[in-house]
Structure 1
Amino acid sequence: MLKKLALTLLMTTMVFSAGVAGPSQDKAQAAGAGAVQAKTAEQLYPIEVNGKYGFINGKGKVVIEAVYDGNGYSGEPGGTVYVEDHAAKKQYYFSSAGTKLFEYKLRDAGILYNDRALYTAKVQLAGGATATRYGYIDSQGKVAIQPIYVRAFNFSEGLARVNMGKASGYINTKGKLIVPYRYSFTSDFSEGMAAVTLAVGGKYGYIDTTGKLLITPRYDYATPFSGGAAVVYVNGKYGYIDKTGNYLIKPQFSMAQPFSEGLAFVERNGATFYINKKGAKVIQGFMAGGLFKGGLAPASPGQRYGYINTSGRFVVKPQLYWAADFKGELAEITLLVPDTREEIRGYMNRSGTIVWPPASELPGGVVKP
Structure 2
Amino acid sequence: MAKVGDAYGYLDTNGNDVIPPQFEEAKSFSQGLAAVKDGGKWGYLDTQGNWAIAPQFEAAGDFSEEGAIVTLPSGKGIIARDGTLQVQITRADVQALLPTSVTVGNVQISPFADGLARVTVELEGGRSDRIGFIDGAGNWAISLQEHPILDFSEGLAAIEIDGKYGYVDKTGQIAIAPQFKKAQPFSEGLAAVEFADKQLWYTWGYIDRSGETEIAPQFYSARSFSESLAGVGSVDRGSGYLDRTGTMVISRDTIPEFREGFPFSEGFARVRIGDWLGYIDRDGNIVIEPQYASAFDVSEGMARVDISGQWVDWLGGYDGTASPIYEARLEGSKWGYIQLPVR
Query: In 2 relative to 1, CA 120–261 (structure 1 residues): closer, same or farther, beyond 3 Å?
Result: closer
The one-letter amino acid paired with 2:77 is Y
Match of 1:82 in 2: 69
Distance 1:190 1:97, change over 3 A: farther
**Is the 1:161–1:168 contact (alpha carbons within 8 Å) kept by the matching residues of 2?**
yes
Tell me which amino acid in the other structure corresponds to 2:25. A
Cα–Cα, structure 1 residues 229 and 143, in superposed 2: closer, same or farther, change >3 Å?
same
Q: CA deviation at 1:108?
A: 2.1
Counterpart of 1:105 in structure 2 is 90
Report the equivalent of 2:225: 225
1:61-114 Cα distance to aligned partner (Å, 9 max, x none)? 3223223222233x7x5352122123x2x1221134544321112652412222
- Inter-partner Cα distance in structure 1 for 2:108 and 2:306: 38
2:54 alignment partner in structure 1:
65
Structure 2 unaligned regions, length at least 5: 1-5, 8-21, 92-105
**Counterpart residue type for residue 160 of structure 2:** N
Alignment of 1:288-367 (within 5 A): 289-299=295-305, 304-307=312-315, 317-320=325-328, 336=330
Of residues 6, 20, 33 in structure 2, which corresponds to 1:44?
A: 33
Does residue 250 of structure 2 align to residue 249 of structure 1?
yes
Question: For residue 282 of structure 1, what is the aligned residue in structure 2?
Answer: 287
Name the CA distance, whole Å, in 1 between partners of 2:191 and 2:279. Answer: 25
Query: Following TM superposition, by how much is the alpha carbon of 1:219 offset from its aligned partner in structure 2, in angstroms?
Result: 0.8
CA contact (8 A) 1:248 1:277 kept: no
Q: Determine if contact 1:78/1:96 at 8 Å carries over to the other structure.
A: no
Opposite residue 67 of structure 1, the aligned amino acid is Q
Q: Which residue of 2 aligns with 1:258?
A: 263
TM-score by length of 2: 0.71
Task: Note the alpha carbon deviations across 1:172-224, whole angstroms, 9 max, x for none.
Answer: 22222211111120111122211101229661111122222111111111111
Q: Cα gap change, 1:72/1:301 in structure 2, threshold over 3 Å: closer, same or farther?
A: closer
- Mapped to 1, the partners of 2:317 and 2:157 lie a distance apart of 35
Q: Distance in 2 between matches of 1:313 and 1:210?
A: 48
Structure 1 contact 308–316 (Cα < 8 Å) conserved: yes
Match of 2:80 among 95, 98, 103: 95
How far 1:52 moved relative to its partner?
2.2
Preserved contact between residue 79 and residue 113 of structure 1 (Cα < 8 Å): no
Q: CA RMSD in A?
A: 3.7
1:158-237 correspondence runs (5 A): 158-199=155-196, 203-235=203-235, 237=238
Going from structure 1 to structure 2, the CA distance change for 1:61 and 1:206 (only over 3 Å counts) comes to farther
Task: Determine if contact 2:188/2:226 at 8 Å carries over to the other structure.
Answer: yes
Native 8 Å contact 1:149 1:163 kept in 2 = no
State the 1:289 CA deviation.
4.3
Residue number in structure 2 paired with 1:153: 150
Greater CA deviation, 306-315 or 187-196?
306-315
Structure 1 residue 296, shift from structure 2 partner:
2.8
Distance in 2 between residues matched to 1:48 and 1:164, nearest whole Å: 40
More contact order relative to length (CA 8 Å, sep ≥ 6): 1
Q: How high is the TM-score relative to the length of structure 1?
A: 0.66
Contact 2:53 2:82 in 1 (8 A): no
What is the aligned-residue identity percentage?
24
User: C-alpha distance in 1, partners of 2:138/2:38?
Assistant: 28
Q: Deviations over 1:243-299 (max 9, x none)?
A: 111101125423433222222222323454322233222333753543222333334
Q: Secondary structure at the match of 1:306?
A: coil
Contact 1:184 1:199 in 2 (8 A): yes
State the shift of 1:137 in Å: 1.6
Deviation string, structure 1 residues 152-190 (Cα, Å, up to 9, x no partner): 111112211112332221122222221111112011112
**In structure 2, do the counterparts of structure 1 residues 43 and 166 end up closer, same or farther at CA, with 3 Å as the change threshold?**
farther
Alpha-carbon distance change, 138 to 280 in structure 1, aligned in 2, over 3 angstroms: closer
